[in-house]
A and B are shown apart, each in its own frame.
Chain A
Amino acid sequence: MSTVTSPASVDRELAAIVGDGNVKRTDFEINGVVPAAVVYPSSAEEVGAILHLANDRELVVAPAGGLTKQQIGCVPERIDILLSTTRLNKVEEYDPGDLTIAVQAGMPFAEMQRQLGEHQQWVPCDAASLEHATVGGLLATGAAGPLKSTFGHMRDFCIGIQFVTADGKVVKGGGRVVKNVAGYDLMKLLTGSYGSLAVITRANFKVFPRPRQTRTFACSFHSLDEALQFRTRLFQSPLTPMCMEIVSPGASEYLSNQGTVRDPDHYSPEQPISLPAVEWQIVLRATGSDNILARYTRELGSAVTRTLEGAEEEQFWEWICHFEQSVLARHQNAMVLYTHLAIQNVGPALQALQRVAPDYNLIPAAVGRAATGNLVLALMPLSVDPPSAMQYANCVSALRGMLPPGSSAEVAHCPKEAKPHFDVWGTTPTDVKMMRAVKRAIDPKNILNRGRFIV
């Protein structure tokens, strides 16, 4: 169904839209596929013109921001245009009094956060790689970190959105006020749509006062059961921690600076690593005055094995947020899954991980939101036995098979060679046929991220 178009003629037409200097070649690979051209529009209208052209010619377009999450998803057949939003990088409106901000999609999140920080405000999102990740990219991938426990994720802060549909229409949903039910909630639809429905060009957020003081309490347990019982007691207590993370014994290794870490790639049966960390941890981050933090100390009592404050605390959460990156930096063949679980299924999912991993010669590690069921599961191969593609496939299928009904677990990272052998996205409780109908409604020619997402 794809039209053969000579790249040179497309390049010329793209250059006519964005200017000569803004159409480039790249060697950036998306699961092994190199986009034919990268184009850097400077306005929503230019994005519209590019998509209009692409839609006409049925060119496959991959929207891109900071390139931090492009490897997620299935191996694309081809990518004709990598549409970079990095020139759309301005704050359009920020009124600290209203606690709202409007920014262009290509703005690095950290830059927006810095500007908000000048007024002691923030958008409470602590996903990974925020220096590079763009506002649009974080929305498109529905990215989140430990703060999700209290604040929710991007969909919960995004109060307005502007995007360009596959046929080049510049469209908006929502507005600049914090409460608004006029029209369909397109913010929810686009958050987590992985660039498969439209190219996000601007987003409006509600922002929050930044907590002035925090303290972190790490609590260690000999077993997963004990950790989860502690979690239940927390749910029943009046305490309202801002973050509640569960850390598996294997994960501690990746919550430190790289230099100090032993590398499981060097693991071999003759030289077993004696893992010092065999304990499960529940880590809480509380916010409030001295008085309130003192109450946490009092009520948590002897459960606390370590209290962190200041720079040490910041560093710890930085590690938690970058757990996945830290795993991948050390094991390029590791597999990472993101789970969506009911609260009580956190235990069964972690047990499943611990049980399944050794069957496939993989080492398990997990970090995640104990209160929302969003876990990051990592499986690291042993260097003595590089896994085959089928090993990943079988492991994923075994793991998913052990998850309670209603759970979903998508593979966020694994070697691209393994991806064709299993379903990267997996099953989901939400009707997939309906998702596809929605996709067809606004991208009938399937030009946006064709073959990469679930739709």
Chain B
Amino acid sequence: MDSSIIRQLRKIAGKEAVLDRPEELMLYEYDAGVDKHRPGAVVFAQSTQQVSQVMKLASDKKIPVVPRGAGTGLSGGAIARREAIVLSLARMNKILEIDVPNQRAVVQPGVVNLELSNATTKFGYYYAPDPSSQKACTIGGNVAENSGGPHTLALGVTVNHVTGLEVVLPDGKVIELGGKAQDSTGLDLTGFFVGSEGTMGVVTRITVKLTKLPEHVTTLLAIYNTVEDAANTVVAITQSGVTPAALEMLDGWMVRCVEANVHAGYPEDAAAVLLIELEGMRETVNEQAEAVSAVCMQQKAREVRHAKDEKQRQLLWLGRKTAFGAVGRVSPSYYTQDGVIPRTKVPYTLAEIERISKHYGLIIGNVFHAGDGNLHPLILFDSRDPKQTENSRKAAKEIMACCLKFGGSITGEHGVGLEKMGLMTAMFTEDDLEVMVRLRNAFNPESILNPQKMIPDLHFCREITGPLPKAKFEPVAGLPV
């Protein structure tokens, strides 16, 4: 990157807050997904004002800026193109206010998700959205991706818990959207902004809802001899009228993988397990636990175990939350999918994934949010073997095609980013995407912020935004376009 830009960035953020040496930049060329690109510079902003100055500079010089939190994203949303500035918000990590009477917290974007809950439980509250990466991921990143997590089944995803944002626009202007009130007069730009993947503005302050800690929580582990029975149970629970706080499924392969890693107490000979969490008033939880156990047994569960105490409960969850890491131990590379299907199609889709796995000779582990039909098949491959790498991509596409066949979505919580941009045309028409581009341009007219992410660069984008380098766009074989 041009040394005068680096100098100016240092002037804004301080000498220590700008990285430009190749060995430093290498650390910022990837996120938790599959794509890689080295940025031109990394700058760590420490205040809204610095973010604004960086944006103003970038706008003036027409340099793309990619906002970044902890880099735990799975879709390449925080990956820069060459010569882009990566704007890290990780050092803006203060909890500015915990407002218990209003059930709100005001935080900077770099606050780690779990730290907010840890800071508020002493008041009887917590921050509900809990992505599996919650020990590392930032709330700013959660806002950008509209992150979910196991416990969003009953309580909703990030957008349901954000009431106010301070946003820096690409030209450096600072605007407010919403505040501590549940909503406000006029367009709901707060709700619209959440999930915009850093393509509309840089979030510099977030007001979130705090959720009252439930009086009672219990976790059940239902064990199955076939995947099909487990999948049928998911449908049956949904229909029974009970909405669990979380309803997660791990298939047999994942169970063994997790057990080898953390000894969570899952039976290693199971074909599948369901992890079901119920929370609320004590009476409600007890009644629901009984009802859910009965449903599981009806659906041919081998056994339903109740976590006896908090320690056991945490252990069961440890298995779920470290599942991805456990896979990392056994396979050099894996490719995580994030497709969503209607809940009744879970049994069929899992059978289809099994078929695809056999067809390509690749192990596909399943660990996912069964309750809302959000699948996370993990395709294992060795990236040093080009044949395997290619097959993993083919398998991924077939799985996605299967999700879309049922009116599903290409992403439930990981975002489109770079990774799934090519699939957007399988879900949306050119008109749909064109309207999205028009709306993005209201915030980010010159595509300075996170360019070539989320919406594929179809011909109309250039008509509207002026010339831009063409993004990689590959149509997916076998999908309706």
Which of B184-239 touch A at CB < 8 Å? 184-192, 194-196, 212, 214-215, 235, 238-239
Looking across the interface, which residue of chain B has its beta carbon closest to that of A176? B407
Decide if B442 is an interface residue (CB 8 Å cutoff). Answer: yes
Interface: B283 (CB within 8 A): yes
Instruction: Knowing A97-B235, A183-B424 are in contact, say whether A292-B281 is a contact too (CB < 8 A).
Output: yes
- Beyond A430-B187, A431-B175, whether A98 also contacts B342 by CB under 8 A is yes
A158 to chain B, nearest CB (A): 11
B284 interface hit (Cβ, 8 Å) = yes
Is B180 close to A, CB under 8 A? yes
* Cβ B188 vs Cβ A438 within 8 A: no
CA distance A185 to B454 in the complex (A): 12
Q: Chain B residues with Cβ under 8 A from A409's Cβ?
A: 185
Q: Which of A230-238, A353-361, A388-396 contacts B (4 or more CB under 8 A)?
A: A230-238
A contact residues, range: 35 or more
Residues of B within 8 A of A152 (CB): 156, 160
Q: Is the CB of A183 within 8 A of B436?
A: yes
Contact A97 B239 (CB under 8 A): yes
The answer to whether B185 touches A442, judged by C-beta atoms less than 8 angstroms apart, is no
Helix, strand, loop or mixed for chain A's interface? Answer: loop
A172, B283: Cβ atoms under 8 Å? Answer: no
Q: Do A98 and B191 touch across chains, with their CB atoms under 8 A apart?
A: no
Say yes or no: is A302 at the interface (Cβ < 8 Å to chain B): no
A173–B435 CA distance with the chains assembled, in angstroms: 10
| Residues of chain A lying within 8 A (CB to CB) of residue B372 | 177-179
Q: A179 with B185: in contact, given A172-B428, A189-B192 (CB under 8 Å)?
A: no
Residue A300 at the B interface, CB < 8 A? no
B408 part of interface (Cβ distance < 8 Å): yes
A180-B412 CB under 8 A given contacts A97-B343, A429-B178, A430-B177: yes
A134 part of interface (Cβ distance < 8 Å): no
B185 touches A340 (CB 8 A): yes
On whether the beta carbons of B145 and A181 are closer than 8 Å, the reply is: yes
Chain A nearest CB from B424 CB (Å) reads 7
Q: Which residues does chain B contribute within 8 Å of A181, judged by CB atoms?
A: 145-146, 148, 157, 195, 409, 411-416
A306 at the interface (CB under 8 A from B): no
Contact of B181 among A153, A183, A407, A435 (CB under 8 A): A407
Q: Is B427 among interface residues, defined by CB-CB distance under 8 A?
A: yes
Among B184, B194, B407, B416, the most chain A Cβ lie within 10 Å of the Cβ of: B184
B340 and A188 contacting across the interface, CB-CB below 8 Å: no
Min distance, Cβ B105 to any Cβ of chain A, angstroms = 13
Q: How far is the CA of A291 from the CA of B281 in the complex (A)?
A: 11
B152 contacts the other chain (CB 8 A): yes
Contact with B along A23-58 (1 / 0, CB 8 A): 000000000000000000000000000000000000
Residue of A142, A170, A182, A343 touching B411 (CB-CB under 8 A): A182
Q: How far is the CB of B73 from chain A (nearest CB, A)?
A: 12
Interface pair A189/B241, CB less than 8 Å apart: no
- List the A side residues contacting B192 at CB < 8 Å: 184-186, 188-189, 438
| CB contact list, A62-121 vs B, under 8 A | 95-100, 120
Kindly name the residue among B148, B187, B195 whose own CB sees the greatest number of chain A CB atoms within 10 A.
B187
| In contact, A343 and B434 (Cβ under 8 angstroms) | no
Do residues B176 and A430 form an inter-chain contact, with CB atoms below 8 A? yes
User: In angstroms, how far is the closest chain A Cβ from the Cβ of B341?
Assistant: 7
Most chain A beta-carbon neighbours within 10 Å: one of B152, B160, B243, B342 = B342
Nearest-CB residue, chain A, relative to B345: A98
Whether the Cβ atoms of A189 and B188 lie closer than 8 Å is: yes
Give, as a whole number of angstroms, the nearest-CB distance from A2 to chain B: 24
Which residues in B have their C-beta under 8 angstroms from that of A170?
431
Q: When chains A and B are docked, how far (Å) is the Cα of A374 from the Cα of B182?
A: 8
| Residues B182 and A454 in contact, CB atoms below 8 Å apart | no
A residues in contact with B431, CB < 8 Å: 169-171
User: What residue in chain B is nearest A177 (Cβ atoms)?
Assistant: B340
Scoring B residues 406 to 426 as 1 if CB is less than 8 Å from chain A, else 0, what string do you get?
011111111110001000100
Q: CA of A177 to CA of B411 in the docked complex: distance in angstroms?
A: 10
User: Which A residues touch B188, using CB under 8 A?
Assistant: 142, 155, 188-189, 191-192, 430
- Closest beta carbon of chain B to A428's beta carbon, Å: 4
Chain A CB within 8 A of B272 CB? no
What chain A residues lie within 8 Å of B300 (beta carbons)?
A: none
Task: Name the residue of chain A whose CB is nearest to the CB of B441.
Answer: A441
Asked if A193 is at the interface of the complex by the 8 Å CB criterion, the answer is yes
Q: Does A437 contact B (CB under 8 A)?
A: yes
Is there contact, CB below 8 Å, between B440 and A184? yes
Given A175-B407, A188-B192, A438-B439, is A183 in contact with B428 using a C-beta cutoff of 8 Å? Answer: yes
Residue in B closest to A286 when the chains form the complex, CB atoms: B281
Q: Are A179 and B413 in contact (CB under 8 A)?
A: yes
Bound-state CA distance A442–B434 (Å) is 10
Q: Are A430 and B428 in contact (CB under 8 A)?
A: no
Query: Which residues in B have their C-beta under 8 angstroms from that of A175?
Result: 340, 407-409, 427
What chain A residues lie within 8 Å of B159 (beta carbons)? 185, 188
A372–B283 touching, CB < 8 Å = no
B411 and A431 contacting across the interface, CB-CB below 8 Å: no
User: Which A residues from 152 to 205 make CB contacts under 8 A with B?
Assistant: 152-153, 155-156, 165, 169-173, 175-186, 188-189, 191-193, 197
Distance A434 CA – B440 CA, assembled complex (angstroms): 11
B16 at the interface (CB under 8 A from A): no
| Cβ–Cβ contact B185 & A408, under 8 A | yes
A427 contact set on B, CB distance < 8 A: 185
Query: Which residues of A lie under 8 Å from residue B284 when comparing CB positions?
Result: 288, 292
Question: How far is B160's CA from A372's CA once the two chains are assembled, in angstroms?
Answer: 13
Q: A172-B428, A343-B101 are in contact. Are A180 and B186 (CB under 8 A)?
A: no
Contacting residues, chain A, for B267 (C-beta < 8 A): none
Q: Are A171 and B181 CB-contacts (below 8 A) given A120-B241, A180-B340, A441-B438?
A: no
In whole Å, how far is B90's beta carbon from the nearest beta carbon of chain A?
Answer: 22
Instruction: Contact check, B287 vs A291: say whether CB atoms are below 8 A apart.
Output: yes
Contact with B along A418-455 (1 / 0, CB 8 A): 00000001111111111101111110000000000011
CA distance A189 to B190 in the complex (A): 9
Residues of A contacting B369 in the complex (Cβ-Cβ under 8 angstroms) = 179
Closest B residue to A187 using CB positions: B191
Identity of the chain A residue whose Cβ is nearest the Cβ of B239 in the assembled complex:
A97
User: Does B118 belong to the interface (CB within 8 Å)?
Assistant: no
Asked whether B189 lies within 8 Å of A434 as measured between CB atoms, the reply is: yes
Q: Which residues of B contact A183 (CB under 8 A)?
A: 416, 424, 427-428, 432-433, 436, 454-455
Contact present for B186 and A428 (CB under 8 Å): yes
* Cβ-closest chain B residue relative to A48: B431
Q: When the two chains form the complex, which single residue of B145, B178, B408, B436 contacts A184, counting CB atoms closer than 8 Å?
A: B436
Chain B residues, Cβ within 8 Å of A222? none
B329 CB contacts on chain A under 8 angstroms: none
Report yes or no: A156 in contact with B243, Cβ–Cβ below 8 A. Answer: no
Residues in B neighbouring A268, C-beta threshold 8 A: none
Contact of B238 among A97, A406, A435, A442 (CB under 8 A): A97
Q: Is the CB of A98 within 8 A of B343?
A: yes
CA distance A407 to B235 in the complex (A): 43
- The listed residue with most A CB atoms (<10 A of its CB), out of B102, B181, B433, is B181
Whole-angstrom distance between the alpha carbons of A96 and B242 in the complex? 14
* Neighbouring A residues of B187 by C-beta, 8 Å: 189, 192-193, 197, 430, 435, 438-439, 454-455
Whether B410 pairs with A182 at a CB distance below 8 angstroms is yes
Chain B, range 122-175, C-beta contacts under 8 Å to A: 124, 145-146, 148, 152, 156-157, 159-160, 164, 175
- 21 residue pairs from A and B, CB less than 8 Å apart: A97-B344, A156-B160, A175-B409, A176-B407, A177-B341, A177-B342, A177-B372, A179-B373, A181-B411, A182-B420, A209-B242, A212-B241, A238-B214, A291-B283, A343-B103, A344-B102, A372-B182, A408-B181, A410-B185, A426-B185, A429-B184
A sample of 6 more A-B contacts (CB under 8 A), given A155-B191, A430-B187, A431-B189, is: A98-B344, A179-B369, A189-B439, A240-B280, A240-B281, A429-B177
- Closest 4 A-B residue pairs measured CB to CB? A188-B191, A238-B215, A209-B241, A408-B185
Q: Which positions in B face A, CB cutoff 8 Å? A: 101-104, 124, 145-146, 148, 152, 156-157, 159-160, 164, 175-192, 194-196, 212, 214-215, 235, 238-243, 280-284, 287, 340-344, 369, 372-374, 407-416, 420, 424, 427-429, 431-436, 438-443, 454-455
